[in-house]
Amino acid sequence: MLWSNIITTSVVLAGVPSAMGYPGMGEQMAEIMRRDNDEFDSKELLGDLITLPDDKLTPTAADIKKILTGSGTPQSTVGWNAPSLGSAACKKDTCCVWQYIVNDMVKDFRGPSGRCTSWARRAVRLGFHDAGTWSKTTAAQGQPGGADGSLCLTDEINRADNNGLQDICQKVNGWYNTWNKQKGYPVSLADIIQMGATVATVVCPLGPRIKSYVGRVDVAKPGPPNLLPGVDQSADDLIALFRDKTIGPHSLTALVGAHTTSQQFFVNTTRAGDPQDSTPGVWDVLFYGQTLGTKPAPPRVFKFNSDIALSKHPQTAPEWKKFASAGGQQDWNEIDSHITIFFIQDFAAGYIRLSMLGLSNINSLTECTKVLPGGTPSYNPKDQSNIDKWLATADQSPTAKKISNALHDGASLLGWIFNLINGILGGLLKS
């Protein structure tokens, strides 16, 4: 697990006199110190950061280096008021056009219920899969791969492990055509993919606001095959696969938590649309407890064999159990608002590392986190009781599929959908 270094933590706490009186703070501080040198975290550098001395790094690259080595902060609350598109002020700021691209993304990513939509969930998966075709082994052989846009630029998208990503590839290619080819802005498809993933993450309720960077270079050559995780792989194989990407077991445990928003469609097509925890479209930690079995999972919750294996493996189980605990959300992704202290959040830090795979120009990147929308730190859906009753069934009728599709689209199960649920479940929702 990656945490802010103890010096930074102490400085922040110095401004909060009552912090040490906050329940559990003593234990949290001990945890920070204990995990500073955790063998299950990677502190490996990537790309040009491996060879460049500190005095040659830009402020952005220096911050990325701190994040990769466990002493930086992977989230940011910084925002801004963007100048008008096309104005002189906008032209001077690399990030300005990204504000308008992100605005387009948010329209597709946030559903009427406040939950994130299928577009958002696919955008997160797209970011994973584009970056994931890199490893130390294949890189040493001179092969391409990483966060380079190749997934949507080549026939890489036609591989079986990318099933379900074809539509989101068309979506991001549409954004690229609009902003790069039609309007002439120098934005790369690789950056659109990774920005889409971090925008989608924060749009999902409770999702972290991950530092986001632009400046990646597109590569129209497929990444190596067989470098993405499979749903039936053993925990040992998955840990080895991710270690070869410089991602340790703790970060791996955090990264698979993206399944918390998911509804699966291709692993078991007879159960297409079934979620991986009871709150699809919400970036919470319920996935961990329901996969592990420490929290009850209704019949409709679908568990990947690989996730079950990771929840029990000696190198990942302790972290899994921590995320499944009462305080797991804070450990996983949140800023503790009670004591105004940043804990380096595992998912955010792990995703930044993932998004840097294959890059040789980290020292040229620009941080544009300020263009991301604000997060949703709390979420209490009015239709959760209806969702719970739907989850309690295993019905796979056409009408039940309409319900799962509505959830996939970020719709509410109040209103028109209520009558459909009543019809298919024989009045199950009637009080």
Q: Which residues are annotated as a binding site for Ca(2+)?
A: 130, 146, 148, 150, 260, 277, 279, 284
Q: What's the pLDDT score for residue 339?
A: 24
For the four alpha carbons of 170, 172, 178 and 182, in that order, the dihedral sign comes to negative
- pLDDT: is 421 or 335 the higher one? 421
**Residues whose CB is less than 8 angstroms from the CB of residue 382 and which lie 6 or more positions away in sequence, other chains included:** 412, 414
Residues annotated within the binding site are 130, 146, 148, 150, 259-260, 277, 279, 284
User: Higher model confidence: residue 167 or residue 18?
Assistant: 167
How many helical (H) and strand (E) elements, i.e. helices and strands, does the chain have?
20, 4
Q: Helix, strand, or coil here: 75?
A: strand
Alpha carbon distances (Å) from 392 to 19, 293, 298, 395, 427: 42, 16, 5, 9, 13
Per-residue pLDDT averaged across 257-280, rounded? 96
pLDDT value of residue 419? 55
Numbered residues of the known binding site for heme b:
259
User: 286-322 pLDDT, tens per residue?
Assistant: 999 999 999 999 999 999 999 999 999 999 999 999 8
Q: What are phi and psi of 195, to 5 degrees?
A: -65, -40
- Cβ count near 309 (within 10 Å): 18
Distances (CA, A) of 163 to 87, 148, 240, 265: 41, 19, 24, 9
Amino acid at 50: I
Average pLDDT of the segment spanning 75-98: 98
User: CB under 8 Å to 361, separation ≥6 — which residues?
Assistant: 47, 48, 215, 216, 217
For 354-409, what is each residue's pLDDT tens digit? 999 999 999 999 999 999 999 998 899 999 989 998 999 998 888 888 999 999 99
**Catalytic choice (129, 250, 313, 408):** 129
Q: What is the average pLDDT value for the chain, to the nearest integer? A: 87
Residue 210's pLDDT band, with cuts at 50, 70 and 90, is very high
pLDDT band at 328 (very low <50, low <70, confident <90, very high): low
Check residue 327 and give its pLDDT: 58
Can you list the alpha helix ranges (DSSP code H) found in 177-300? 189-203, 235-243, 249-255, 286-292
- The pLDDT, as a whole number, for residue 332 is 55
CB within 8 Å of 302: residues ≥ 6 apart: 264, 267, 268, 271, 274, 275, 276
Which pLDDT belongs to residue 24? 47
6-371, CATH topology level: Peroxidase; domain 1 (1.10.520)
pLDDT at 331 (0 to 100): 58
Residue closest to 382 by CA, chosen among 422, 413, 418, 348: 413
User: Which of residues 32 and 401 earns the better pLDDT score?
Assistant: 401
Task: State yes or no: is 250 an active-site residue.
Answer: no
Q: What mean pLDDT do residues 102-113 have?
A: 98
- Residue 2 pLDDT exceeds 90: no
For residue 210, give the 3-state DSSP assignment. strand
DSSP readout, 354-419? HHTTT-S-GGG-EE-GGGSPP-------TTHHHHHHHHT----SHHHHHHHHHHHTT--SSTHHHH
* Whole-number percent of the chain with pLDDT over 70: 83
* Whether 272 contacts 379, CB under 8 Å: no
What pLDDT does residue 398 have? 87
DSSP classification of residue 199: H
* CA–CA gap between residue 123 and residue 265 (Å, rounded): 15
